[in-house]
Amino acid sequence: MRKFLIGLFVIVAAIYLWNASWLAARPADQAVRLIAHRGVHQTFDSAGIQNDTCTATRIFPPEHDFIENTVPSMRAAFAAGAAVVEIDVHPTTDGKFAVIHDWTLDCRTDGAGVTREHDMVFLKTLDVGYGYTADGGATHPLRGKGVGLMPSLDEVFEAFPDGRFLINYKSREAREGDMLAAMLADRPDWRGRVWGVYGGDAPTDRAVMLVDGLKGFGAGAMKDCLMRYLALGWTGHVPEACRNTYVMVPVNYAWLMWGWPDRFHARMAANGSEIILIGPYSGEDAGTSGIDTVEDLARVPEHFGGYVWTNRIETVGPMLKAN
């Protein structure tokens, strides 16, 4: 029995030391970089939302007039300290990418129908601030302020020569990966604007395959990465799904990642991946939680050298700079 306990102690000690963060080298670049989800935008109550919930009808009382996925909101996000701005895209009938979150136009615009069933000329006539309300429809504080503000992806790239964007595919159509690859082949000077792609597995995988050096992560691959690392990471093994990609880690579950934070970071970096730390995951909402408060920011490791996802870049950016 004594030999068994000694052997067990040795095994546990070896696993601990092999995964000890304090024994790993800290990231060479210890600067936290921010990803602004949808730019500076109107935030909302995410409790109980589903994929088809109209979030424009449940915003908090506006503190500014910025509207998500518009050039002014992106410009404000970069000014607030964003290293990357996350944007959503849909293909149009005239071969463009419209930058808008929703599958249909009915929620936040004065249009109707499926977004991708329209051309960019029509989409540019809409008011993207039309549907926002914080009081159940009694008032619409952004109505009339978003006319003509839905941009195409090429307009975004032209507007920000030094900007970097994380592009969110909202569909499962592989052709959208082909579209982005063709766009960048035609305009190679835009390649630097695309920091990464994510969302639907099919378009994400297609874009990563066609665009040299592009990183991306689909929903399925990201879940596979985290689950496999939780199961096997104690050995130091990094699953294929975690290599040459971006690894999203909820801040409330980060402690479960073997070697968190420094050894985990070193393992990901050695396999060509970077970490995106997102807000607490509850499993109850369909939105992407961000590092949005002082309390959330305090949970980011002191020497964290990855990216932090936020829905409130206008407050978190200056807060991080002040620290």
Each residue of 81-100: b (16+ CB within 10 Å) or e? bbbbbbbbbbbbeeebbbbb
Q: Which domains does the chain have, with CATH numbers?
A: 2-322 (3.20.20.190)
d(CA 78, CA 165): 11
Q: Three-state DSSP class for 184?
A: helix
Do 160 and 72 contact (CB within 8 A), yes or no?
Answer: no
**What is the predicted pLDDT for the residue at 220?**
87
Predicted pLDDT of residue 13? 79
Q: List, for residues 135-155, the tens digit of each pLDDT value.
A: 999 999 999 999 999 999 999
Nearest to 146 by CA among 104, 179, 107: 107
- Taking 70 as the pLDDT cut, the residues of the chain under it are 4-5, 8-9, 283-287
| pLDDT (0 to 100) of residue 307 | 97
Question: Residue 284: what pLDDT?
Answer: 56
